[in-house]
Chains A and B, each alone.
Chain A
Amino acid sequence: MRLNEILVINTNDYQDDYGQQSSWIEIFNASYGTVDIGGCYISDDPSNLRKYQIPGGDVLTKIKPRQHVIFWADNQPFRGTFHVNFDLMGAEEIIFTKGDGKSIIDRIRIPSALKDSTMANKSYGRIEDGEGSIDGNGDGWEMLERTSASTNNAMVDKTAKPNRMKEMDPYGWMMAVLAMTVVFTALIILYFLFKQISRIYTRPTSRAEGTKAATPAAVAATKPSSDDEVNAAIVAALEMWMESNLLHDEESFVLTITPSRSAWNDKHELLTKLPQMKK
């Protein structure tokens, strides 16, 4: 969760449910999961982080992913969950704290210029939602051109990525080169890794072959013959058939045939006692 935007002097900006215009604080859920902020604290006093506790058990405090929530800094907490017990005219800083009342999630110093009457209805916020500092120094914050309570500070164009790509690469060659480089890189790394792994696993055999390689007969024996190919093909076909019929229950190159039960070999059938005449 991030403090995302604040407005101090509100004369003709957003109104609360009571039709009142007052200072507001926007909090943004920067994560991709729902977050319940019930129990957390908002304060304007570094020496009293527990100044206003957001009530727990309110379904409205469950903030959906990438969504915003507005708190009215009107010093009228009895008006509901989203009305805090201080106002921003007298505040130097806003601090958002976890439910333990100690761990600060985010804080922002309020620029004194924002309290000037010429700055009425101007908001101060993060340039990009959720981006920037969380230690109060205001990195990534600026006076926004327009207020944006409960919505994105910067306009998000959903088609931005494809459009940017169209401008940069109208014929698709850059994408082709870039993407093929990535595909090749991924598979070349796999190739090298498994080449090394295969060396580890084939080393004993190679050494053994190396000692035999002195004789021409041994060299001839290592060459694959037509029979080897036929055998390999038969094994491959058998394996595929057994795989498809779920008969092959062990690893490759080991043929196992799972016995099937029938009335002819069933243990119970075979153990059936023959009728015997009582003596």
Chain B
Amino acid sequence: MDKILENLQTFWSFTGFANFTTDYLIMIGFGLIFLYLGIKKDWEPMLLVPIGFGILIGNIPLFQGLNVGVYEEGSVLNILYQGVQRGFYPPLIFLGIGAMTDFSALISNPKLFLIGAAAQFGIFGAYAISLAFGFDPAQAGAIGIIGGADGPTAIFLSSRLAPDMMGAIAVSAYSYMALVPVIQPPIMRLLTTKKERLIRMKAPRQVSHTEKVLFPIIGFLLTAFIVPSGIPLLGMLFFGNLLKESGVTKRLANTASGPLIDIVTILIGVTVGASTQADQFLQTRSIWIFIIGACSFLIATFAGVLFVKIFNIFLKEGNKINPLIGNAGVSAVPDAARVSQNVGREYDPTNYLMMHAMGPNVAGVIGSAVAAGILLGFLG
């Protein structure tokens, strides 16, 4: 009988209940909120559901030496986590993004490139704020990239500049990307007049096949020469787009934009979620990361909308840009463009801004990858 009790006691010490602390409960609560938002509210379910479940996986209390935790070298989760830690998942996701992105809106109206550049102020505003709050420059750079509104870029950069903060940065970036429809509209309304919201933009012109093929080649060569440290992201983004637009590699483009990106999204979501173990995640600095992350989104939206307003001063009547697409300069594709469309239609139901907003939106993807390359070059 004593032997049985002893074995039961040993078994009990192996269970999650024996190692349980309230920190784990809080993190499991976060995971459940993510799942609720993803499943019930339909907010970025492709991201929030894997991350939410990953948080549950990562926050089952374990005893040391079981070799199943994401931070235990050689465990299955740790092997899957290598893609995040060594930064090879983000370029693969960029390959898929390139293969599913249509840059026609941007090619037909190239001045929209500049809005994508302006919105990157969010990154460097957040960088300055982080420094003011006592983070060192490398950490500040990793936090700042949240303002690029690009999950893979945030993971890629933080894995190099501040690996210990990657979980909080990734969760913060993806959370705010899901919250774009909530964060951006009040700022857009605040900064624009009714007259500006009613501006109708010229319908985009038809873009030829040659232009579409030239775009990824020229885009890559130019940006990579300027910021070589961004090659993993920029190279894969433009390569994916060339697969799509060349017209001769349809199968490869379909794989990159379909099964491949789905597989990597699952792996990146679950492992990033699992990396938020309570002991690593529940720290005061994580709260600061969330606060500064929110600021970076606000600054990016401010900068995008204000830039369009200033830009309009120099544009002729008929060529003016509706400032409601300024928010789309952040690279949350296509959510930020959808926000432009929805806010625009509140004031004029026949004004369709979606196709125009896709221009700065995809320019934002390029802009944030370039910004990440710059930060990596200076701080890496």
Task: Please tell me if B8 contacts chain A, counting CB pairs below 8 Å.
Answer: no
Taken residue by residue from 336 to 351, chain B's Cβ proximity to chain A (1 for < 8 Å, 0 otherwise) reads as 0000000000000011
Contacts of A188 in B (CB 8 A): 113-114, 117
Contacts of A33 in B (CB 8 A): none
Knowing A186-B223, A252-B207 touch, does A166 contact B137 (C-beta < 8 A)?
Answer: yes
Task: Please tell me if B209 contacts chain A, counting CB pairs below 8 Å.
Answer: yes
Interface size on B, residues (CB 8 A): 67
Docked-complex contact A190 and B379, CB < 8 angstroms: no
Task: Please tell me if A241 contacts chain B, counting CB pairs below 8 Å.
Answer: no
- Secondary structure of the B side of the interface? helix
Docked-complex contact B371 and A162, CB < 8 angstroms: no
- CB contact between B108 and one of A182, A190, A198, A230 (< 8 Å): that residue: A198
8 A Cβ contacts from A193-224 to B: 193-195, 197-198, 201-202, 224
Knowing A180-B120, A183-B367, A229-B351 touch, does A224 contact B200 (C-beta < 8 A)?
Answer: yes
Docked-complex contact A162 and B222, CB < 8 angstroms: no
Task: Please tell me if B210 contacts chain A, counting CB pairs below 8 Å.
Answer: yes
Contacts of B132 in A (CB 8 A): 171-172
Docked-complex contact B113 and A187, CB < 8 angstroms: yes
Which of B47-55, B77-85, B213-221, B277-285 makes up part of the contact surface? Answer: B213-221
8 A Cβ contacts from B178-211 to A: 200, 202-211
Taken residue by residue from 50 to 74, chain B's Cβ proximity to chain A (1 for < 8 Å, 0 otherwise) reads as 0000000000000000000000000
Docked-complex contact A198 and B354, CB < 8 angstroms: no
Docked-complex contact B374 and A182, CB < 8 angstroms: yes
Docked-complex contact A190 and B218, CB < 8 angstroms: yes
In the complex, what distance in Å separates the CA atom of A195 from the CA atom of B107? 8
Docked-complex contact B351 and A184, CB < 8 angstroms: no
Contacts of A170 in B (CB 8 A): 131
In the complex, what distance in Å separates the CA atom of A173 from the CA atom of B125? 9
- CB contact between A165 and one of B137, B219, B366 (< 8 Å): that residue: B137
Docked-complex contact A180 and B211, CB < 8 angstroms: no
CB distance from A196 to the nearest CB of B (A): 9
In the complex, what distance in Å separates the CA atom of A224 from the CA atom of B351? 12
What would be 25 A-B contacts, judged by CB atoms less than 8 Å apart? A163-B136, A165-B379, A175-B127, A175-B378, A176-B121, A179-B123, A179-B124, A179-B378, A180-B120, A180-B121, A180-B124, A182-B374, A183-B367, A184-B117, A190-B223, A191-B113, A193-B110, A197-B214, A201-B208, A224-B200, A229-B350, A230-B350, A232-B355, A251-B245, A253-B206
Chain A residues packing against B (C-beta within 8 Å): 159, 161-163, 165-166, 169-173, 175-176, 178-180, 182-195, 197-198, 201-202, 224, 226, 228-230, 232-233, 236, 239, 243, 246, 249, 251-253
